[in-house]
Amino acid sequence: MIVVLTGGTGGAKFVDGFRRVLPPEELTIIVNTGDDHEWWGLYVSPDIDSITYVLAGILSNERGWGIRGDTFHCLQTMKELGEPSWFSVGDRDLATHLLRTKLLSEGRTLSVVTRTIAERLGVRSRILPMSDMRVETRIDTPAGELSFEEYFVQRWYQDPVKSVRFAGASESEPAPGVLDAIADAQAVLIAPSNPVTSIGPILAVPGIRDALSNTAAQVVAVSPIIGNAAVSGPAGALMAAQGLPVSIAGVASAYGDFLDVLIADDSDSESAKNHASRSPHPYTTNDGLQVHCTNILMRTTEDRERIARTALTLACPELVSTSAEVE
């Protein structure tokens, strides 16, 4: 079993690579829910939806979120009726939120609801929310404290970031299956997601960070940073606000207590050598972290498959020779 920790559009691309090189039953995806929020009275879980849609083969590649070929008639009508319209929800996507809200209102947990929706969409991989309890990413800015979607979508992440916190994290528990999946994994892979607001909420749930430190599996992460900038989005500003260098050293620091291998971009090879400068082994630090450099950009389907195979080769080589192509 391969376990992937993920969130955001980069995470969806990463998972897309794995669905093409591994049988779906071998994949367990642990997903950030810190972005979850209420929209028009409905419970929306953006990262869970993106992972569900990509595994179902219906994610919009053009947008990187939502359903391919979706329309936005309801959004337009709500705008005409004077309701908020800054969060784009497609008409088919709306059905997912309606069903999730209905099932949650009947007393089912987010884990059960996620499994139900995934099964109905034909997904055979296992998708686990990080927790069934509410954990909310909150961004402190000069304009006040914002939810992640307010900061990222409504305000286009233009506000200076003072700090980030995960409301409710200390009282939360991992969703059923999360800790067992990490303990039993053949490899644990961390997507090139924002270390602060996509992977950070997962790590903030008590028990998950310890599970990653204690697993016998190799833990391999792909950097979302090239040079001193994020591949996309506000990861750089958010890392800086949390006191992390905006570099591969900052990514390594965010995951330092459990990470075995960091996959960085070829252009960061000198930085990787400098990071390991006091070790007798190039690209390996004194604390045992290996840094592997390659082209980490995922512009095409072939790129996504290549990164997936690279991560698997570094984490669990025997799986690469036996993995099957999956359409």
pLDDT in tens, 269-316: 888 877 654 444 445 554 679 999 999 999 999 999 999 999 999 998
Each residue's pLDDT tens digit, 95-125: 999 999 999 999 999 999 999 999 999 999 9
**How long is the chain?**
327
Q: Rounded distance, CA 212 to CA 214, Å?
A: 5
Residue of 2, 19, 1, 16 whose CA lies nearest to 324: 19
This prediction has a pTM of: 0.93
C-alpha radius of gyration, the chain, whole number = 19
* DSSP characters over 193-249: --TTTTSHHHHHSTTHHHHHHH-SSEEEEE-SEETTEESSTTHHHHHHHTT--SSHH
**136-141 and 42-44 strand pairing:** unpaired
Joined tokens for residue 1: 């079993």
Q: Rounded distance, CA 314 to CA 189, Å?
A: 10
Sheet with 290-294: strands ordered across = 126-129, 27-31, 2-6, 187-190, 218-222, 261-265, 290-294
What's the pLDDT score for residue 285?
55
**How many other CB atoms are there within 10 angstroms of residue 184's CB atom?**
14
Q: Rounded distance, CA 243 to CA 240, Å?
A: 5
Above 70 in pLDDT, residue 16? yes
Confidence band of 182 (pLDDT split at 50, 70, 90): very high
What's the pLDDT score for residue 276?
55
Each residue's pLDDT tens digit, 219-278: 999 999 999 989 988 999 999 999 999 999 999 999 989 999 999 999 998 888 776 544
Q: Bridge partners of 164? A: 139
What's the pLDDT score for residue 316?
84
Percent of the chain at pLDDT above 90? 87
Q: Rounded distance, CA 251 to CA 261, Å?
A: 11
What's the pLDDT score for residue 132?
98
Each residue's pLDDT tens digit, 56-74: 999 998 899 999 999 999 9
Each residue's pLDDT tens digit, 18-68: 999 999 999 999 999 999 999 999 999 999 999 999 999 999 988 999 999
Q: Rounded distance, CA 144 to CA 47, Å?
A: 24
Instruction: Provide the mean pLDDT of the chain.
Output: 92
